[in-house]
Structure 1
Amino acid sequence: MAILALKSRPTEISPDADKSGPIELVRYVCAIGAMQSAAAIPRVVPITHCGPGCADKQYMNLAFYNGFQGSGYGGGPVVPSTNASQREVIFGGADRLRELIESTQLVLDADLFVVLTGCIPDLVGDDVGSVVRDFQKKGVPIVYAETGGFRGNNFTGHEAVTRAIIEQYVGPWDGVREQGLVNVWSLLPYQNTFWRGDLEEIKRLLEGIGLKVNVLFGPDSAGLSEWRDIPHAQFNLVLSPWLGLSTATLLEERVHQPFLHIPVVPIGARQSSEFLRQVAEFAGLPSERVEAFIKSEETRYYNYIDGFTDFYSEYWWGLPAKFAVVGDSAYNLALTKFLVTQLGLIPAKQIVTEDPPVEHRDAIRAEFRNIDHDVSVEIDFIEDSYQIHQSIRNADFGHKPPIIFGTTWERDLVKEMKGSLVEVGFPASYEVVLSRSYVGYRGALSLLERIYSTVVSHSA
């Protein structure tokens, strides 16, 4: 697994922190990693125009050593690549790309091909758009996105891919809106280790209050028919601190489609019920069905929690009191909110690692400062793992061993601190993840099982 990358923006660990040089033990990949976002759409195949090994590194980092999620229909070893060499650097790679697209159509069965560029074609100036437009004129379902590594990370690349599909593939809006239909823009596929199960739970909750859902990514998506249906939705739901906002803004400008932005991904009964009521109010849904569904879910949830309280009351003296979260802003915020408001744990250190755009950082800070009515959390934006680990070592965890919600990179640190680790983000190399979810009512129960099984097994 690659462990070094260039910093694209300075960290904010302190005013005096080093603002240049490599990043140790990275927690994202470069923009062309968005090939996995394309592969997350059923029957979509990415085509990479990049150097040899680039596509394989993205797959191995995001989809293998991160919960061992697998390649799916169009990802992993399926992905065609130009494997651009010195020849393409000198003479350009447009002809090589054209040849690859032609041969890919003969070999692979896909509803849509997404061409993604790497550093080489973006630096030498290959006119990828012209090549792809030639195929589009022939009726080939294909789009392109410029995703050279210097353009940003895979979060940036993901937004480029969604924009490309909307602008180049989704047809014009005919003015018809379907009431009760919502497009969901939320967790980053494959980067988020539990994205498949989480999107399944989000869809289940929204359908439970009477909405029809275009979830767009993952096994619960209908694929390209959902993407073509995007303009007809009543509204867009952006369920994350910032990812998806540019897509929702694009659709607002393009087809005058309103959007609802809820920064906190819900975990547990309190957040899930609040989330559903917010969405229902925005969508104009009748309250009777919404409240009936919430009551049913809360009854089931608290029935399990009632059983859990026997364990919690018996072992409270040996359980962690303070915690740290190291991860992207979406899961960091969601976990912190849940652990504080529903378990009563005390936040000791929250570190956001995905390098969110500067223009969104104040809004992210504001959400953490409003964790609960009497809890305000200050966060650090840090990408370098050496600095992250130093920050955690310097945090005050009291007299009990800490519990850290982080990644495989924190394993040695947690052993050193004699604490417990729950891997909740990239890379998660000691977790095998199929359909597990940590969001919603049901995901929270799975999360509780994972947390306290880890703690008990550590203390044994």
Structure 2
Amino acid sequence: MSKVEISYEDQKTNSISRPRYGCSIGAMYSASAIPGVVPIVHCGPGCADKQYTNLAFYNGFQGGGYGGGAVPPSVNASEKEVVFGGNERLEELIQASIKVIDADLFVVLTGCISDLVGDDVPSVVTKFQEKGVPIVYAETGGFKGNNYTGHELVTKAIIDQYVGDYEGQKKKNVVNVWTELPYQNPFWRGDLSEIKRVLEGIGLKVNILFGHDSKGIKEWNEIPKAQFNLVLSTWLGLQTAEHLEKKYDQPFLHIPAIPIGAKATSEFLRKVSDFAGVDSKKTEKFIQKEEKHYYKYLEDFSDFYAEYWWGVPSKFAVLGESSYNLALTKFLVNQLGLIPVKQIITENPPEEYKDSIRKEFANIAEDVSVIPLFLEDGYLVEQALLNSEEKPAIILGTTWDRDAAKQLGGNIVEIGFPSSYEVVLSRANVGYKGALSLLEKIFTIAISASA
């Protein structure tokens, strides 16, 4: 690690400029990402709206969906609730919400105000649970962490308070998938669809749990019956999988690198197939079909890539959350032979996971090792990028990296929060199909910039 890298990572400040995540109550979008689920927020005025603006609007313009946007009921806590408590106001709001909103499940999330003044949210929600109302709560005050922290709290709340105990038989070849953070990653919907497609291709029944391909609460009720859990990320979802292992005696498979491209996706499917004990012949047949299709398109692309007519750049940087950062770095190195010059991880992973993340980056390829920086302050991210010893010509980052890219004369590809110059509907970056669209995006930007 260079002296510059040490100085950046060691800097501690009392404030964070341009953070690349929401606060803990931003997990209301983990709840609304489940079809038929509506969050109820016990917080101050504006909190829910800010999470929508940040996570779902100026981040790929994803839209609020059925339970997000303008839909979530809010206590809109005022001075009265600060002084006298907000239990009564929350109870009134839940009663009104049940009457006017059609939901399969309500998830109450708390903000800083209610957690600081000590509102007894569990007792309020328990009254409704005892009456048979489908409702759970998660204490997600912003001081507890970011929306990654809130996500784990919400998933655990639904599992413990709604799904409940289970001691029946497990269903062979059924898997629960825990991977990208909904809405935080603007490509999550398309990515989850591709992950489900390839897993089903080898013969698994997939509980994808979030997004348009999920069956909603019906699917969540099937979680305890699954043969195993799949954690497809560097660290997010591990706490949930460990909890499920204790609660339902369910094993889990942890694969840190989300697969992008044929090589990584085929290796991923073989690992899952072996762990699940599915028919290896069926797995190889599916892989062969997908690779044939994938490499045919790559063969067409090779005419452009080999000629370098537009001076296609060879050095790149990735600025973003660890799981996507690792996946993109592996893909660009192993599939295209590009050179990584700066990898910055921005979601502030818990300390206990940082060493394992470093080990993953140390093994990008047989002869490629990367030392990532962990920086959540946007100013420090910008300075680390601008002061790179080697200048990256392709920068996979966010809207906040556009100015730095201009100063470096590089090409910006927005792949994470916030992505305010991307409109994202069903686009994916992972798997076989997602890799092809990612290549289109990267090199369209590269040749357009040279025009």
Q: TM-score range by the shorter chain?
A: over 0.9
Measured after TM superposition, the shift of residue 396 of structure 1 is 2.8
- The residue that corresponds to 2:449 in the other structure is 458
User: C-alpha offsets along residues 46-71 of structure 1, whole Å, 9 cap, x if unaligned?
Assistant: 00000000000001100000000000
- The residue that corresponds to 1:45 in the other structure is 38
Do 1:197 and 1:436's aligned partners in 2 also have CA atoms closer than 8 Å?
yes
Measured after TM superposition, the shift of residue 15 of structure 1 is 7.5
SS at match of 2:70: helix
1:243 aligns with 2:233: no
SS at match of 1:14: helix
Aligned partners of 1:361 and 1:14: how far apart in 2?
18
Measured after TM superposition, the shift of residue 171 of structure 1 is 2.9
- 1:245-394 paired onto structure 2 within 5 Å: 245-315=238-308, 318-394=311-387
SS at match of 2:12: coil
Measured after TM superposition, the shift of residue 395 of structure 1 is 1.1
Do 1:159 and 1:247's aligned partners in 2 also have CA atoms closer than 8 Å?
yes
- The residue that corresponds to 1:96 in the other structure is 89
SS at match of 2:219: helix
Q: TM-score, normalised by structure 1?
A: 0.96
Aligned partners of 2:409 and 2:106: how far apart in 1?
48
Amino acid at match of 2:396: F
Do 1:13 and 1:382's aligned partners in 2 also have CA atoms closer than 8 Å?
no
- The residue that corresponds to 1:111 in the other structure is 104
Q: TM-score, normalised by structure 2?
A: 0.98
Do 1:31 and 1:157's aligned partners in 2 also have CA atoms closer than 8 Å?
yes
- The residue that corresponds to 1:19 in the other structure is 12
Measured after TM superposition, the shift of residue 402 of structure 1 is 1.2
1:437 aligns with 2:428: yes
Measured after TM superposition, the shift of residue 202 of structure 1 is 0.1
Amino acid at match of 1:447: L
Among all aligned residue pairs of Structure 1 and Structure 2, give the percentage whose two residues are the same amino acid.
66
> CA 1:16–1:305 in structure 2 vs 1: closer, same or farther (change >3 Å)?
closer
User: C-alpha offsets along residues 208-264 of structure 1, whole Å, 9 cap, x if unaligned?
Assistant: 000000000000000001100000000000000000000000000011000000000
Aligned partners of 1:18 and 1:97: how far apart in 2?
41
Amino acid at match of 2:322: S
Measured after TM superposition, the shift of residue 16 of structure 1 is 7.8
Match for residue 177 of structure 2 among 181, 184, 188:
184
Do 2:85 and 2:117's aligned partners in 1 also have CA atoms closer than 8 Å?
yes
User: C-alpha offsets along residues 252-286 of structure 1, whole Å, 9 cap, x if unaligned?
Assistant: 00110000000000000000000000000000011
SS at match of 2:318: strand
Do 1:32 and 1:118's aligned partners in 2 also have CA atoms closer than 8 Å?
yes
Do 2:61 and 2:420's aligned partners in 1 also have CA atoms closer than 8 Å?
yes
Aligned partners of 1:327 and 1:106: how far apart in 2?
41
User: C-alpha offsets along residues 363-394 of structure 1, whole Å, 9 cap, x if unaligned?
Assistant: 00000001011110000000111111111111
User: C-alpha offsets along residues 372-423 of structure 1, whole Å, 9 cap, x if unaligned?
Assistant: 111100000001111111111111335xx61100000011111111110000
Aligned partners of 1:286 and 1:24: how far apart in 2?
51
Measured after TM superposition, the shift of residue 198 of structure 1 is 0.1
Amino acid at match of 1:213: V
Aligned partners of 1:93 and 1:185: how far apart in 2?
34
Aligned partners of 1:159 and 1:178: how far apart in 2?
25
1:211 aligns with 2:198: no
1:160 aligns with 2:173: no
1:134 aligns with 2:127: yes
- The residue that corresponds to 1:120 in the other structure is 113
Aligned residues: 447
Aligned partners of 1:430 and 1:233: how far apart in 2?
39
Aligned partners of 2:161 and 2:348: how far apart in 1?
28
- The residue that corresponds to 1:413 in the other structure is 404
Aligned partners of 2:440 and 2:323: how far apart in 1?
21
Aligned partners of 1:362 and 1:18: how far apart in 2?
19
